């Protein structure tokens, strides 16, 4: 799934969602969500948050989002010089 979405500028997106516990609204709990998403609109994250608000009891307090640059295959660069130690 991830490789097919890369040409469309999807990025690995991580969101920390702080929410209030239903039985103890004064206590915040943390949930980490991670998915490929399209920055800066983040439609996949918005769809997840709408599901959260509709189906789960914990009220969302805040969401912190971090988005990585394009995920690319690893590359290899040969060194410009070699050093030999005896």
The pTM (predicted TM-score) of the whole model is: 0.72
Residue 32 lies in a domain: yes
Question: What are 27-82's pLDDT values in tens digits?
Answer: 999 999 999 999 889 999 999 999 999 999 999 999 999 998 766 677 777 777 77
Q: Give the CA angle between residues 40, 37, 46 to the nearest 5°.
A: 75
| E strand spans, 1-86 | 10-20, 28-38, 60-67
Residue 15 confidence class, pLDDT cut points 50, 70, 90? very high
pLDDT the model gives residue 76? 76
In a domain, 40, yes or no: yes
User: Is residue 11 one of the residues assigned to a domain?
Assistant: yes
Question: Residue 45: is it exposed, middle or buried by C-beta count within 10 angstroms (0-12/13-18/19+)?
Answer: buried
Residues in the chain, total: 86
Q: Is the preceding peptide bond at 40 cis, omega within 30 degrees of 0?
A: yes
Domain residue limits at 9: 2-67
Residue 14's pLDDT is 95
Q: How many domains does the chain have?
A: 1
């Amino acid at each position: 799934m991830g490789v097919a979405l890369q040409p469309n500028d999807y990025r690995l997106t991580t969101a920390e969602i702080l929410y209030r516990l239903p039985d103890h609204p004064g206590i915040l709990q943390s949930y980490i969500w991670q998915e490929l998403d399209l920055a800066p609109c983040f439609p996949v994250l918005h769809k997840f948050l709408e599901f959260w608000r509709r189906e789960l009891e914990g009220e969302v307090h805040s969401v912190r989002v971090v988005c990585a640059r394009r995920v690319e295959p690893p590359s290899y660069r040969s060194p410009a010089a070699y050093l030999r130690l005896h």
